[in-house]
């Protein structure tokens, strides 16, 4: 979430890149990835590297926004 976008009801997007997952559906992974005690609501996107690349090729607008405007919490490129 960019500071300029912050408004009441805003949330933050959290992209979690997984090497692999036994769960085939990203939405089913969300409960295990939800952060605790954050001051703002969070949308969690737990994607495998393969899913991330597929959504990049499909030009997923929300994912593109996360990748362009987001801040990495770990060093190195995403994916």
Q: How many CB atoms lie within 10 A of CB 29?
A: 20
Q: Can you give the pLDDT at residue 42?
A: 86
Q: Can you give the pLDDT at residue 9?
A: 62
Q: Can you give the pLDDT at residue 41?
A: 85
Per-residue tens of pLDDT for the chain, all 79 residues: 444 555 566 678 889 999 999 999 999 999 998 888 888 888 899 999 999 999 999 999 988 988 888 888 877 666 5
- In 3D space, the residue among 70, 60, 61, 68 whose CA is nearest the CA of residue 16 turns out to be 70
């Amino acid at each position: 979430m960019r500071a300029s976008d912050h408004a009441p009801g805003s949330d933050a997007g959290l992209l979690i890149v997984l090497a692999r997952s036994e769960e085939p559906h990203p939405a089913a992974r969300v409960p295990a990835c939800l952060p605790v005690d954050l001051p703002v609501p969070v949308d969690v996107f737990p994607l495998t590297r393969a899913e991330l690349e597929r959504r990049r090729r499909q030009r997923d607008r929300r994912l593109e926004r996360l990748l362009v405007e987001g801040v990495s919490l770990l060093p190195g490129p995403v994916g």
